[in-house]
Structure 1
Amino acid sequence: MGPRRLLGFAGYRRLLLSRFLSQWGDGLFQGGLLGAVVFNPERAVSPAEIAGGFAVLLLPYSIVGPFAGALLDRWDRRRVLVAANVVRGVLVLVTAGCVAAGVAGLPLLMLALVVMGISRFIGAGLSAALPHVVPVRNLVEANALAVTIGAIVSVFGAACAFGLRSVFGEDDAGSGITTAVAVVGSVLAAVAAARFTRGALGPDAVDEPSTAVAAVANGLFDGARVALRTPSVAAGFCALLAHRVSFGISLLLTVLLMRFSFEDWGPVTAGEPGLGLVLGFGAAGIFVAGVTTARVVTALGRKRAVLLALGLAASAQLCLGLPMVLPTALLAAFLIAYAGQVVKLCVDAAVQRDIGDEARGRVFALYDMLFNITQVFAVGIAATMIPANGESVPLIVIATVVYLIGMAGFELVTRRHQRRETPHPA
């Protein structure tokens, strides 16, 4: 079933609308905060502060995710989506007011942490509701469409933030107004979710431990056990773990280089507009991966597709990263985003295909938590090594080597399981 037939399901269209509005608001909120902290002439910034900002944006996906699954299997998801979007909208306005007032440091980071935590909760609710709006046989393609376009919409939201800052100004007041616009996404997402009838998005039944903490602990343990026993998933985790580490390093490098080192290249300007362009190239890579991954896997097989993607990312990291100039950075952003999305879609498919339904949600919760924490850790370690202007050849080499280690780990785990499964001659 293609996208056109999927969009024939009214519930799926409504859920996509709520998802895309929410993710657009998330992207704008994150872009507004990034601009306020990194590209604000009224504020100084260090690698450690940027790393702290990325931690705030990423950690909620790890901390809230496992609890979200447990709670969303207890509460009416339609009500959760409406209420959470409303609360997030209020907190977006509070955060925007703090930005405009010049608040910095821990108070601003904590507000952003809460906003992003609620966003993660909303995202989990939307994912959990998906089986209630499309047939089970179409879940994989419906999820792929939602995830791929949702990622692009989020990047578009961030690009909108950069554009709005050029209108409202790059100082604290302009950054605050830009960040406040993100409330539009929350409000409209709540309205879209409210159009569902009560109970339409589940849960149909509650079968969880009596407390959320027990549900989370049991879920993570069971998810780890099942993932390690499933060859395709265990190998995929090695590949995706390597990508997250390298991508975290590249993320910090790109922001600092764009802020302090890159020079304009023809009509392409460095600084905040250049970062917006990098996001655009990354979004293009994600889109192309969404369109081509199925064909690549069909032609090469999943194993070769993952290895090829990691090799492409390693080559882009080294060959296009080392010059440390704007044109090659843009091409690297496209290729690394493309390769990373290919790996992610392959790992997602492995979990959806090879993990039983009774454990699939737990494996995804573990997956979500593990890889976001890994990226935060990579950014934090890189921040202790990188010079203030971002020009670090050793970190580019390290990011490249990590991709190669990921390829070796993926191959090693795959072969080990193949040897175990090969019958010995009598």
Structure 2
Amino acid sequence: MKNQKWFRTYIFIWTGQFISTLTSYAVQFAVVIWLSLEYDSAEVLAFAGIAGLLPQALIGPFVGVFIDRWDRKKVMIYADAFIAFCAFAMTFVLKEGGDLLLVYVLLGCRSIGNAFHTPAMQAVAPLIVPESELLRVSGINQMLQSVSSIGGPALGTLAITFFSISNVLYLDVFGAVAAIGSLLFVTIPRLDATAHSSMSTVLTELKDGFSAIYSNKGLGFLFLYAMIATFFIMPVAVLFPLLTTGHYAGGKWQMSLIEIVWGIGMLAGGSLLGMARVKISKVILVNTMHIILGFTFVLSGWFPPSWFPGFVLVTTLGGMSMSIFSAAFMTTIQEEVEPHMLGRVFSLYFSMALLPSMVGLLFTGVIAEIIGVTNAFLISGTAVLLVGIVSFLTPALMRLGKKDEKQGNFQPQNS
């Protein structure tokens, strides 16, 4: 009964989060389509990406300290409400013609909400889920996100075909209401924390978050390699629509198809982890997925324009590798770090991974114009592939999690 109770609680939370994620994907993709067709500019897409990520990267480390001190359930509720408010405000901006500066500002405000919501959600799982089930729950998490990434672009494309971009944004408000509603009916354990939050205390706890990462040499390498990979992945992620429309001569529906098959791949990867008790080391999964993801980027840039079906196929494989990487990576952190430190550690990771990628995004327009979109895929893919190879050659990283495996965390369940 206890196992059924935690599972019911977690699924109930994710029912609301699923609706919210689905509508967010729809709105996000609708905005990408609108920007792509309205401006046809790599720089506009890059600046939109920076606006949506930079605030989260800058305030993330400090946010994590407070997430570990506050009620994580309330953090998620307030963050969802703030994100919905930003979407509501953006509807008025776009009705007035879509001033790009105001769009960037509101995307930045949404990023602040995500800075609180994303690490809080990741830090909730270990408070509810038994440690032996974390990888499988991460797989379920990836499945739900994958379904959203499949349905979201389709919903967003359909919505922007029949409605104005300002009206499409109301989907985000509806999703936030669903997410908040699901959280109101569940109980999430709250960790004890001191109420005093002076600046010196915050800085001390922030330092503790860094120590939790770098006192564990293997975990430090895991973070470092993930940051390097993200530096090359982020500019390529922004250029996917331009690769589809430019190199492969696609349109609105082709862009949507690429997003959908990426989500199908993520669903397949999440399903594999969610339904099966995987015995392979999570570190091996992380490293292998880096290699596969890099290889799919290389192929995407190497295929000739007539090979759009091949582009669809390797994008599906890329989505699958990204899903397995994310689940294995997050589970490794959840197992290696104490629950009362997870908010800080997740926030630090999201910030440390995003800040270097901002540099790449700043030069996205230059990259697209000087070396070309296809060459950007070739170079970035090769770099990510090499990160995976170097990871296998790092002893401290390869030893990470060996203690957990010996204790039987990956043993099959009794039927």
Question: Is the TM-score greater than 0.5?
Answer: yes
Q: Tell whether 2:386 aligns with 1:386.
A: no
How high is the sequence identity, in percent, across the aligned residues?
17
Count of aligned positions:
396
C-alpha displacement of 1:219: 4.2
Q: Which moved more, 1:76-85 or 1:45-54?
A: 76-85
The counterpart of 1:203, out of the listed 177, 187, 190, is 190
Matched, 1:235 2:221: yes
Could you report, residue by residue, the CA deviation over 1:141-177 in whole angstroms, capped at 9, with x for unpaired residues?
3344224423532553343111111122xxxxx1111
Decide whether aligned partners of structure 1 residues 382 and 112 sit closer, same or farther in structure 2, where only a CA change above 3 A counts: closer
Q: Between 56-65 and 394-403, report the one with greater CA deviation.
A: 56-65
Alignment match, 1:171:
none
Q: 2:379 aligns with which of 398, 404, 414?
A: 398
Distance 2:279 2:133 in 1: 18
Distance 1:215 1:279 in 2: 43
TM-score, structure 1 normalization: 0.80
Within-5 A mapping of 1:115-264: 115-135=110-130, 137-168=132-163, 174-196=164-186, 200-207=187-194, 210-211=197-198, 214=200, 217-263=203-249
1:347–1:373 distance in 2 versus 1, CA, 3 Å:
same
Quote the Cα distance in structure 1 between the aligned partners of 2:392 and 2:342.
24
| CA 1:138–1:339: 2 relative to 1, 3 Å | closer
Tell me: CA distance 1:370–1:309, structure 2 relative to 1, closer, same or farther (3 Å). Answer: same
The separation in 2 between residues aligned to 1:25 and 1:191, in whole angstroms, is: 15
- 1:407 corresponds to: 388
Q: CA deviation at 1:415?
A: 6.0
Q: Say which of 88, 93, 105 aligns to 2:100.
A: 105
> Map of 1:18-57 to 2, 5 A cutoff?
18-39=16-37, 43-57=38-52
- Give the distance between the partners of 1:416 and 1:87, measured in 2 at CA: 38
Aligned partner of 1:308 in structure 2 is 288
The 3 A distance-change label for structure 1 pair 271 and 93 is same
Q: Whole-Å Cα distance in 2 between the matches of residues 167 and 378 of structure 1?
A: 35
Specify whether residues 15 and 302 from structure 1 end up closer, same or farther in structure 2 by C-alpha distance, changes over 3 A only.
closer
- Residues 301 and 375 in structure 2, CA contact (< 8 A), matched pair in contact too: no
**Cα distance in structure 1, aligned partners of 2:106 and 2:145:** 24
Q: What is the CA–CA distance in structure 1 between the aligned matches of 2:392 and 2:7, rounded to whole Å?
A: 40
| Aligned-residue offset at 1:182 | 2.0
How far apart are residue 53 of structure 1 and its match?
0.8
Residues in 2 aligned to 1:417 and 1:162: alpha-carbon distance in whole angstroms: 43
Answering whether residue 14 of structure 2 is matched by residue 16 of structure 1, we say: yes
1:148 and 1:290 in contact (8 A); partners too: yes
1: CA distance between counterparts of 2:100 and 2:140? 38
Residue aligned with 1:31, SS: helix
Structure 1 Cα separation of the partners of residues 52 and 137 of structure 2? 26
Give, in angstroms, the shift of residue 88 of structure 1: 3.0
Q: How many Å separate the matches in 2 of 1:20 and 1:277?
A: 21
Once the two structures are TM-superposed, the CA of residue 95 in structure 1 deviates from its matched residue by 0.3
Give the superposed CA RMSD: 3.2
Distance 2:240 2:24 in 1: 21
Change (3 A) 1:398 1:12: same
Structure 2 portions without partners, runs of 5+ = 400-415
Deviations 1:387-408 (CA, angstroms, capped at 9, x unpaired)? 29x9434323321331243134
- Structure 1 residue 386, shift from structure 2 partner: 1.2
Distance 2:150 2:62 in 1: 26
